[in-house]
Amino acid sequence: MAAVHIDESTWVLVLTGAGVSAESGIPTFRDANGLWENHVIEEVASPQGFARDPSLVWRFYSERRRGVLSCTPNPSHTALVDLERRLGDRFLLVTQNVDGLHVRAGSQRLIPIHGTLCESKCSGCDRAPFVDTALYLDTVLPECDRCAERGQRSLLRPNIVWFGEVLDSLALSRIESFVETAAAERLVFVAAGTSGLVYPAAGLVNVARRAGAETWLVNADRAANASSFDHFVEGASGTILPSLFS
């Protein structure tokens, strides 16, 4: 199998998507029987959907919380922890996954650009997101106690970046500065388990290319942006990632 050569000057930026957690038993979004086949995106994953029917949105994310809490990291997650241990600050992992499995596997230099499922935040005030593994499956929805102290009522919501919302600007600048620094040496970009359809994540390969990166795609099928990559390794990430880095 082809391998990514790692030496003293190599910096690696990795982007992961739902396919990386598929072997842990977490459904992807767009495969057959994926989450978006059985749910209307606008209803469960947009601020408008939450305003219209917060109970439906909380039931959806509560079911997903229940799902991830019973799953464990797989060899894809472990392979990226091993790589981070080799590279230290020359490694950065950007994930679109909200399932927390990279953290549970031990990844530290990690940016969860689409949020974290087992965290909640307030829909009304700007308090920091906090860990919340509770399931809200009935009609009593969680409210913000900080807002209540000021005599206001606001619903809590999952800490997920919904469609129509912008990504955290600090996270984006951390990625940019990693790419800039790495460009002075040898940058390798690896995307794994992602359909290449959701931007800005799907455009990261082009950012890396402009910085002179060697680019690798590891995916079960040809992603929508596959032609932007130098190398495509087709298959299950849990099989490929553990032996991709030489």
Catalytically annotated residues? 114
Which residue number places its CB atom closest to ligand OAD?
19
Residue 186 binds to ligand OAD (criterion: CB under 6 A): no
Residue 234 binds to ligand OAD (criterion: CB under 6 A): no
Residue 11 binds to ligand OAD (criterion: CB under 6 A): no
Q: Which of 57, 110, 147, 236 binds ligand OAD (CB under 6 A)?
A: 236
Given phi > 0 = left and psi -120 to 50 = alpha, else beta, which region is 4?
A: beta
Question: Interface residues for ligand OAD in 48-87 (CB under 6 A)?
Answer: none
Residue 96 binds to ligand OAD (criterion: CB under 6 A): yes
Segment lying near ligand OAD (by CB under 6 A), choices 4-12, 123-131, 150-158, 213-221: 213-221
Residues forming the site for ligand OAD (CB under 6 A): 17-19, 22-23, 28-31, 34, 45, 96, 114, 161, 193-195, 197-198, 219-221, 223, 236-238
